[in-house]
């Protein structure tokens, strides 16, 4: 990853938009930035008169607070308004919020679904009201979603598994995934097992636990890990944790048997505490997803959809209903060797906070 790629978010967003419109076959953040001279910034009145409905699963995790703030700021910079509704991890409440946004007559509905299946009818209701739907970070299943934007979750899963493979070429592995209701959890697992399965088949790796985690809750992940340790004792060599929050709970469980730092643990989201754990040696790696690029690109694409402008995509992801036009951004592997060159250089975390 070229170092300057981390310092060009606004230009990268413009390039994403150009490539989406052109439906080209590339999907590399650096390539998008390299095309920056072909684009002009969208004006502060571009979204004037448009109201964006943003239906979010939760704001409990710091990551989602960042998404909200960055997305709102990007929409408002274009002169549009945002109505944010966060459901606190309650799928029924999210349906109610989304239907309320539709009834209020928003011009575009952007959804981070709690349950990929439950929001299907919401998409149909939105379309009946003439409102397009953008699926943000997590894919809504079983519905004709107008556009999906996320990071390449299968690639993230492969990154996590490759890190474990490097640390534990032979041994006992635990897989602790995210919410089974979240399509991303399935994509992450698919990517991870594409790396792990050959090693499982030849007997090098043994999966002693493989389960999803309700609502991605760290406490649930900790309970799972505690139970595994009670059954397997110290015979655990690596844990693939789908995200950093759960990794924290898993490492807390490992500490009860003085195994922190002795068992490889993955993560995702580059949370501040995870970065500190990587420095301390209790977490092996994380995956950094430039949320500013995600939020800003989603904001501009949402405004384009609301304005009725043509938006095509360079990727398509099947959601059980059909092939959904998709923009998949590139995730970035982070371990002790490149913290300064990634999350700090990009301004995602301050150096003084990381090394506090």
pTM: 0.82
Specify whether the backbone of 258 is left (phi greater than 0), alpha (psi in -120 to 50) or beta. left
The CATH class, in words, for 153-268 is alpha beta
Q: Model confidence over 3-57: pLDDT tens digits? A: 334 334 544 555 455 445 444 334 444 444 334 333 445 778 999 999 999 999 9
- Domain spans of the chain, in order of start: 3-151+290-330, 153-268
Phi, psi of 329 (to 5 degrees): -85, 160
Residues 6+ apart with CB under 8 A from 276: 354, 356
The structure tokens listed for 304 are: 């384009």
Report pLDDT for 13: 55
Residue 130 exposed, middle or buried by CB count within 10 Å (0-12, 13-18, 19+): exposed
CA distances to 134, 272, 352 from 339, rounded to whole Å, are 32, 11, 13
Check pLDDT > 80 for residue 214: yes
Tell me whether the CATH fold assigned to 3-151+290-330 matches the one assigned to 153-268. yes
How far is Cα 19 from Cα 253, in angstroms, rounded to an integer? 45
Mean pLDDT, to the nearest integer, of 131-146? 97
Mean pLDDT, to the nearest integer, of 71-79? 97
Share of the chain above pLDDT 90, in %: 83
Share of the chain above pLDDT 70, in %: 88
Fill in the DSSP letter of residue 172: E
Closest CA to 276 of 344, 178, 330: 344
Instruction: Confirm if 150 and 329 have CB atoms less than 8 A apart.
Output: yes
Q: Model confidence over 284-331: pLDDT tens digits? A: 999 999 999 999 999 999 999 999 998 878 899 999 999 999 999 999
* Residues 156-189 as b or e (16 or more Cβ within 10 Å = b): bbbbbbbbbbebbeebbbbbbbbbebbbbbbbbb
The CATH class, in words, for 3-151+290-330 is alpha beta
């Amino acid at each position: 990853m070229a170092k300057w790629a981390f310092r060009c978010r606004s230009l990268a967003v413009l390039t994403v938009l150009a490539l989406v419109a052109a439906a080209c076959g590339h999907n590399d953040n650096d390539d998008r930035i390299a095309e920056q001279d072909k684009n002009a910034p969208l004006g502060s009145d571009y979204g004037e008169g448009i109201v964006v409905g943003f239906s979010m699963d939760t704001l409990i995790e710091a990551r989602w607070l960042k998404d909200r703030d960055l997305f709102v700021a990007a929409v408002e910079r274009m002169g549009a308004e945002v109505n944010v509704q966060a459901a606190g991890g309650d799928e029924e409440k999210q349906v109610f919020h989304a239907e309320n946004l539709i009834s209020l007559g928003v011009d575009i509905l952007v959804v981070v679904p709690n349950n990929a299946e439950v929001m299907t009818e919401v998409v149909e209701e939105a379309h009946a009201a003439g409102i397009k739907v953008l699926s943000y970070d997590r894919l809504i299943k079983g519905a004709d979603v107008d556009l999906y934007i996320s990071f390449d979750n299968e690639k993230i899963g492969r990154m996590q598994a490759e890190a474990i493979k490097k640390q534990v070429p032979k041994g006992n592995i635990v897989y602790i995934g995210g919410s089974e209701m979240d399509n991303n959890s399935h994509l992450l697992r698919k990517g991870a097992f594409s790396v792990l399965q050959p090693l499982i088949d030849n007997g090098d790796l043994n999966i002693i636990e493989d389960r999803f985690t309700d609502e991605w809750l760290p406490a649930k992940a900790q309970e799972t890990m505690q139970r595994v340790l009670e059954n397997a004792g110290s015979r655990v060599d690596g844990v693939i944790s789908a995200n950093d929050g759960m990794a924290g709970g898993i490492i807390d469980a490992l500490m009860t048997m003085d195994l922190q730092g002795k068992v490889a643990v993955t993560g995702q989201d580059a949370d501040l505490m995870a970065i500190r754990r990587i420095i301390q040696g209790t977490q092996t790696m994380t995956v950094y997803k430039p949320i500013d690029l995600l939020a800003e690109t989603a904001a501009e694409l949402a405004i384009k959809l609301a304005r009725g402008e043509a938006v095509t995509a360079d990727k398509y992801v099947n959601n059980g209903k059909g092939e959904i036009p998709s923009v998949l951004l590139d995730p970035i592997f982070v371990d002790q060797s490149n913290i300064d060159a990634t999350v700090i250089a990009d301004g995602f975390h301050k150096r003084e906070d990381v090394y506090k």
